[in-house]
Amino acid sequence: MRHFWFKLITVLSLVFSSPAFALEEGKVFQTVVPLYSEDAPCSPEFAEPFWARKSVANPADDYVVRYSRFSCVIGDSGAILIAPGRTEPAYEYLETALDFIALGYGPIYAVDHRGQGLSPRMLKDPLKGHVARFEDYISDLDVVVSAMQADLSALGAPADYPRFFTSNSLGGAIGIGYFQTNGAETPFAAAALLGPMIHVNYISFVDTDATWLALRTFSEFGANSQANLRCGVLSWFNTEKCAEYANEADFGPYVTGSRSFVPDTESIMTHSRTRYDLRTHMWDAFDWAKIAAEEYAEGEFWTGPQLGGSTNGWVKEASRFNRQMRKSKNLEKMPDMPVLLMTGTRDLRAYRQFRSGSGKEPDLKRHSDFCDDMNAESLVTFGNYNCLFIPIKGAFHELYKERDAERSVAISAVDWFFRMSTRLPR
């Protein structure tokens, strides 16, 4: 299986020698922030803004999920839907959208997952990251995909215009769940999952040494067991236990002014001070009052995009679903569609961590194994290999927000993969 991909990786190395277009890091702030502030027109033909904030109701529970569309111009290469990670608003992918638009894609869509970003909150406390069932994320994505399809038709996209899916972190798990649920019915030609939430390194959320006991206490099984206890037996004595922060000491409510960039620190998620500071500006300084007043109902508990740590309920659902989606019976439900899985070698949320003092470096075996397991199932079902795993040396968790060196490699790889999957010209 690994030998099969060797030739493809060799080809990819040639792609990396000519990085895709990307905004220069020093120009990100001055380019992106005005587009958030001015509602610049999309095109002379359409009255909507370039950054169009849209919404659609999920008929399953009438929840109104938000999503963004960047550009209204049908490109030459295909439309892209982005599923962000936990805490990430859809609008944070405006820079990434500009890069893909420059490569001929468009429009670019991005979803605000339930309870975060620009979507309504699930609890009265808008800073808590919570979900009742992980499958709600998948149901919301399904509704947004249908809305995207209708929007593309309204914009004049031909029926065979390619649709692509890409994601970060949590969005990868949601995407995998969506593909396992929809199978061959998905409209996407290929998917690129960056730093996907496949098997979370939960100890990375706790300020403790990686001892033998800590690695087990904060393993996926340990995190799931603790969350189930708090949402189960302990909720008999405190009905709000499941809605409490899972780790309030380290990941409690967001506090304005608390973000501070620290160079070469994996927990910062990026090497890029500029891209890190852009989120800080949008959370701490950007005026959301007009949008909150005009676009949200009182019961949606939305005052801004800021989000704190996850609740016990979120951990229970996320860890449960991760274990479920990795099972063979669910992997065999994936569609016959090329999947690129790309992860930074210093992605502390994804890598497998070993006991302190063991002399072993963290590795990405859980991600490479997942790709191999997908290929084993697709070989049986479709007679071919569908998954390609590529590690990005030295990169942190948020590849689409990394510094230019790693980010350009990631964007080049995604562009190459999408074009290879549909035989689009480079």
Q: Are strands 105-111 and 63-70 parallel, antiparallel or unpaired?
A: antiparallel
80-103 pLDDT, tens per residue?
Answer: 999 999 999 999 999 999 999 999
For 339, list phi and psi in degrees, rounded to 5: -125, 125
What are 365-418's pLDDT values in tens digits?
A: 999 999 999 999 999 999 999 999 999 999 999 999 999 999 999 999 999 999
pLDDT in tens, 155-193: 999 999 999 999 999 999 999 999 999 999 999 999 999
Distance of CA 150 to the CA centre of its chain: 23
Domain with residue 276: its CATH number is 3.40.50.1820
Mean pLDDT within 54-71: 98
- Domain around 199: 2-422
**In the predicted model, is pLDDT for residue 3 greater than 50?**
no
CB–CB of 405/275 below 8 Å? no
Count of domains in the chain?
1
pLDDT tens by residue, 5-16:
434 544 444 444
Give the mean pLDDT of 189-213: 96
Q: Give CA–CA dist 279/28, Å, rounded.
A: 12
Residue 371 has φ and ψ, to the nearest 5°, of -65, -45
Tokens 């993969």 -> residue: 417
